[in-house]
Amino acid sequence: MPLLLLLVAGPLCAASSIPRIDAPIVIDGDLSDAGWAHAQRVDHFIEYMQSNNGAAPVTTVARIAYDSANVYVAFESHDPHPAAVRAPFIDRDKVTDDQDWVEVLIDARDEHRAALGFRVNARGIQADSLSDDTTQNEDFSPDYFFESAAQLTPDGWSAELRIPLSTLRYPARDPQTWGVIFLRNYPRDFRYVMANVEIPKSSNCFVCHEEEFGGISGLPSGSHMTFAPYSSAQRVESRNLASRIQAEPLRGDSGGDLKWSPSTALTFDATLNPDFSQIESDVPNISANSRFAFDYPEKRPFFLEGGDLLTTPIRAVYTRAIESPAWGVRATGQSGATAYTALLASDRAGGTTILPGALSSGSITRPDRTLAGVGRLRRTIGQSFVGVLATIREGSGGHNRILGPDFAWKPNETDRLVAQLLLSDTTGSGSGHAMRIYAARDAKLYDLFANFKHSSDSFRADNGFVPQTGVQVFYAEAGWHFYPKTHVSYVRPYIGVERDTRTRDHGLVHDGVYPGIYYEGGKFASRGWITFHPADRDAVKVGEEIPVRRYSMIEFDWRAVPSRYLTSVTLHGTAGGKLDYTNANEGRGAALALTGAIRPADHLDLQLTMNREWLHLLDGTRVFAANIERLKATYTISARSLVRAIAQYDSCDQLVRSGGLTTSLLYGYRLNWQTVFYAGYGDERLLDESARLRRSGSTLFAKVSYAWQR
């Protein structure tokens, strides 16, 4: 059979259907409503996390139906020990592996590539995500409108979800077939995850295993609109030039977001003077002795529609590069197998632009307002796709423009080939180019991966996150798969090899060989890996010289969910040889990040993060020592309201000592993710010349936003 026919061939028929119902369903966690009697019942679940598609340890029953406005999903989660159900009150999107939860993934386009995830824990708390096989990532940044409720029962717990059809993005055809995966997380001494389909550990995709449900017809194609205006006020105190704390006048602000879907295949977004004060602060990184810029996840609502479209092999779109938009407009849609998005935003002056390089990156502060634009087109062909990306950044001080194609070819569930080529034009730098191509095979007993990247010195992506250019990077890795019957469920020893050189003169940038081992499915839901770096080499620029230095170290990561009270422990870091990149000296040190989460009661969460990093030269001289301690306490009053306090202390000894202490207290009420009320207070203190904490300012703020839907 020709290869093209294999790629485009779809299923001949659907094994199951989603019934249309007329009887009412009340979302309260009680499954006695008459409508559920006519819903599609799914009671065959397979455990894939611990046993690699073995028998489920507990019984789960899912139901699904729809009417003219909503999709309804219900779960009956039976448990032989109902008192062991982990059912905390937590904030939205904090429904993680330590809790009992259920989830439905819906691929309304039936492309077997990406699906919206709607998750609920045993208290009815929501989390939502986008699972994308193209990036092999589950992104919890997006927020969708849906209702949920759950109840603890004598033999476990039950949950109900009502998902508006306006939340989904389905094609304009009748009848329709959707892909659906039902999931249940069951954390006890080990973590068990059950699904209605088999999900092999060796597969290079997740959504591709979805079960098809047909018989869906008569869906609305009319428009849906959400308008969410906001108003905020804040009072700031700061230390003036006379070293006195001075209060600024009370300041107010307003703006809003508009989302309009004239059809299920097209969505328009607009934002005016957007406010992101509801977003929790990023956990900071230690930047001492770091050569390249750090990135942070996107959490702002305006940029999240169709987020999977903006993910490409080269990270040429990083929406947090648009730091302070005054306004923005966007269109996202799909026509047949072709999906597209176009975004335009005005970014205020004062933002940061990364200046990439082969050995390090720098940055500049933009003095002028710029116009940022992104256009993306992608056509799906079976499990594969071809696409094109274009971006612009225009200002009075110059421009940066990018254009180029990309593709992903997935002939089966084992192999994939992905590539992208980009051309750039930048004021002052001229023309540049970058490319990336990688291939992977994920078989049952082994996996192979090879990656090649090439970029010119003059390539820049001002709307992206590409901190290193002017290099050629080759990396290859091979791993072997073992499935023990006891203690752990999966073990993968592996070895990687890397060599990076400068594009201009082929001089060494970095090379090394990396043997290691990974495991998952251990007791207390533990998983982890350790990689050895026996003989890494780095080129370091000092003045006009670029000497090469050798060092040895280990890199490791370990995570576990010990109990319903100690809900998470994570240890990540490196230790051994390190380089002083400023002076090209060899030394020894470590970078450690320890995070622990404690839940002493169902309403209270405590999270402690400790980062430590230090470097000593081989003669014992200290180059720097830095640390960050962060304590976050959240008391969730109900599914809609919470109180949160954060205290963070950071310090760095490098020539001089710097750092400070910031604290904040927040009350939040959230009817949904856009109808919110927040009020809070923040205080900042900095270390002075005597290493004492000195108050430098404070902020008192409030915000209210309401989402009008039609």
The per-residue pLDDT for range 182-230, each reduced to its tens digit, is 999 999 999 999 999 999 887 888 999 999 999 999 998 877 899 999 9
User: What confidence category does residue 277 fall into, taking pLDDT thresholds of 50, 70 and 90?
Assistant: low
pLDDT at 542: 82
203 and 296 co-located in one domain: no
Question: If you write DSSP's letter for every residue of 378-428 in order, what string do you get?
Answer: EEEETTEEEEEEEEEEEETTEEEEEEEEEEEE-SSSSEEEEEEEEEEEETT
pLDDT at 241: 67
Quote the pTM value: 0.86
157 and 46 co-located in one domain: yes
Q: Per the structure block, which two tokens stand in for 133?
A: 């096989």
Q: Please state the φ and ψ torsions of residue 460, each to the nearest 5 degrees.
A: -140, 150
pLDDT at residue 674 tops 90 = no
Residue that is last in its domain, among 427, 445, 473? 427
CA distance 145 to 128: 9
Residue 540 lies in a domain: no
Q: Average of pLDDT values for 687-700?
A: 87
Residue 543 lies in a domain: no
CA 428 to chain centre: 34
276 and 151 co-located in one domain: no
Residue 706 lies in a domain: no
The per-residue pLDDT for range 2-25, each reduced to its tens digit, is 333 333 333 334 458 999 999 889
80 and 182 co-located in one domain: yes
pLDDT at residue 282 tops 50 = no
Q: Is 22 left (phi over 0), alpha (psi -120 to 50) or beta?
A: alpha
Q: Per the structure block, which two tokens stand in for 132?
A: 């994308």
Which of 575, 328, 314, 316 lies closest to 454 in space, CA to CA?
A: 314
How many CA within 13 A on the CB side of residue 128? 20
701 vs 388, which has greater pLDDT?
A: 388
User: What confidence category does residue 682 fall into, taking pLDDT thresholds of 50, 70 and 90?
Assistant: very high
pLDDT at 280: 52
Q: Per the structure block, which two tokens stand in for 299?
A: 């959490």
User: Could you tell me the end-to-end alpha-carbon distance of the chain, in angstroms, rounded to an integer?
Assistant: 49
pLDDT at residue 499 tops 80 = yes
User: In degrees, to the nearest 5, what angle opens at C-alpha 133 toward C-alphas 161 and 337?
Assistant: 90
pLDDT at 688: 83
Q: Average of pLDDT values for 678-686?
A: 92
Q: Average of pLDDT values for 254-262?
A: 90
pLDDT at residue 238 tops 90 = no
Residue 671 lies in a domain: no
pLDDT at 299: 67
Starting at the edge strand found earlier in the chain, the sheet holding 40-42 runs 40-42, 60-66, 70-78, 156-164, 147-153
Domain count within the chain: 2
212 and 286 co-located in one domain: no
Q: Average of pLDDT values for 87-108?
A: 94
Least confident stretch, 129-133, 290-294, 374-378: 290-294
pLDDT at residue 302 tops 80 = no
Residue 61 lies in a domain: yes
Residue that is last in its domain, among 216, 231, 248? 216
CA distance 489 to 581: 41
User: What confidence category does residue 242 fall into, taking pLDDT thresholds of 50, 70 and 90?
Assistant: low
173 and 72 co-located in one domain: yes
Q: What is the CATH number of the domain that holds 74?
A: 2.60.40.1190
Instruction: Look up the domain containing 314 and give its range.
Output: 265-427
pLDDT at residue 264 tops 60 = yes
205 and 338 co-located in one domain: no
Least confident stretch, 141-145, 478-482, 486-490: 141-145
CA distance 265 to 242: 59
The per-residue pLDDT for range 583-638, each reduced to its tens digit, is 888 999 999 999 999 999 999 999 999 999 999 999 999 999 999 999 999 999 99
161 and 104 co-located in one domain: yes
CA distance 135 to 133: 5
The per-residue pLDDT for range 642-663, each reduced to its tens digit, is 999 999 999 999 888 889 999 9
Residue 139 lies in a domain: yes
CA distance 123 to 637: 12
CB-count burial class (<10 Å; 0-12, 13-18, 19+) for 129: buried
Q: Is 309 helix (H, G, I), strand (E, B) or coil?
A: helix
pLDDT at 122: 97
pLDDT at 391: 97
pLDDT at 278: 45
199 and 345 co-located in one domain: no
The per-residue pLDDT for range 517-574, each reduced to its tens digit, is 999 999 999 999 999 999 999 999 888 888 999 999 999 999 999 999 999 999 999 9
CA distance 667 to 300: 20
CA distances for 272 relative to 143, 171, 254, 407, 651, angstroms: 19, 30, 9, 34, 38
pLDDT at 12: 39
Mean of per-residue pLDDT scores for the chain: 90
CA distance 119 to 148: 9
Residue that is last in its domain, among 407, 427, 447? 427
Question: If you write DSSP's letter for every residue of 96-130 in order, what string do you get?
Answer: -TTS-EEEEEEETT--SSEEEEEEEETT--EEEEE
Residue 478 lies in a domain: no
pLDDT at 297: 66
314 and 414 co-located in one domain: yes
261 vs 141, which has greater pLDDT?
A: 261
Q: Please state the φ and ψ torsions of residue 526, each to the nearest 5 degrees.
A: -85, 150
User: In degrees, to the nearest 5, what angle opens at C-alpha 283 toward C-alphas 282 and 285?
Assistant: 115
Residue 527 lies in a domain: no
196 and 269 co-located in one domain: no
283 and 372 co-located in one domain: yes
